[in-house]
A and B are shown apart, each in its own frame.
Chain A
Amino acid sequence: MKNRAAYFGVFTALALILSYVEILIPISFGVPGVKLGLANLIILIVLYKTDWREALLLSVVRIMLAGFIFGNMFSILYSLAGGVLSLAAMALLKRRESFSVVGVSIGGGVSHNIGQLLVAMIAVETYQVGYYLPVLLIAGVLTGFLIGIISGEVLKRIRQIDLAMK
């Protein structure tokens, strides 16, 4: 318990750095808004090492900070919708026990894109934005798969480290 703040600080810093790294590497999938979601790596690890409450808190804190530093109010709104929906999906998938980290990550990636698309639909008040849905679904599977594989490898290597914050 006494280390909770320290751990949380380290994870917040890591997630922020990964958000920054993602801006540095211009990986373009040819579709607007598609990103690798490197920060989700940290969120996934926290979700597995502690619980969904810590992961949710970290996700929101990270989005707020990254939004104020690199983005604007608009991007915070988008990221929040994606982040919260993504975390909800990942927590539910993880609880079912029948998915590995990769499956949980894929669910998170896809629902993150769906969340952003929903905000876009509300923002421009048109269902035409839904045209991007199939592309965003596939992009979510691909990025979720990649992040899931990496998370799995990291989790395997830090298995002996106890991060239980409760």
Chain B
Amino acid sequence: MKKNDWILAVVIVVIAAVILLFQFTRGNSGSGEVSVSVDGGVFGTYSLSEDQTVDINGTNRLVIENGTARMEWADCPDQICVEHRAVSRVGESIICLPNQVVVSVVSGEEAELDGVVR
């Protein structure tokens, strides 16, 4: 291995670490919402603070409990979304590619501004 190999590897890992750090510091959303979209279009938005089961077009079933959301069932062959861990942080998502279903956690409060200085 040459020196440049190490530099390349380290640079990529550092970039990944910085993005990871950024994702984790955006914090937990206690009263967040999950936004469900199918094929790029919005399917619905559901509160994380309320335990419920959401049926998505009969192809996927999303379960929200204890402030987290997880995919309980999907009719796709790979079952990647079902095995995905539960999501609760803003920006986290569960994606079912075969059914083009995206479940992502969004902030409960719609970008509130403290004030605007003109």
Contact = CB atoms under 8 A, between A and B. Distances in A.
Contacts of A103: 1-2, 4-5, 8-9
Question: What is the interface residue range for chain B against chain A?
Answer: 20 to 34
Given A103-B8, A128-B93, A137 B13 contact: yes
Contact of A124 (B2, B12, B16, B102): B102
Contacts of B72: none
Interface residues of A, number: 29
A107 B16 contact: no
B92 to A, nearest CB: 7
A129 B92 CA distance: 9
Nearest to A104: B5
Interface in A119-156: 120, 123-126, 128-129, 131, 133-135, 137-138, 140-141, 145, 148
Contact of B9 (A32, A33, A106): A106
A100 interface: yes
A126 B37 contact: yes
Contact of A138 (B8, B16, B37): B16
A33 B20 CA distance: 18
A150 to B, nearest CB: 13
Contacts of B13: 137-138, 141
A128 B37 CA distance: 11
A85 B14 CA distance: 22
A151 B96 CA distance: 34
B8 A126 contact: no
A91 interface: no
A129 B95 CA distance: 7
A110 to B, nearest CB: 6
A52 B1 CA distance: 21
Interface of A: 32-33, 74, 93, 98-100, 102-103, 106-107, 110, 120, 123-126, 128-129, 131, 133-135, 137-138, 140-141, 145, 148
Given A32-B84, A129-B102, A138-B12, 5 more contacts: A103-B8, A103-B9, A124-B102, A137-B15, A137-B19
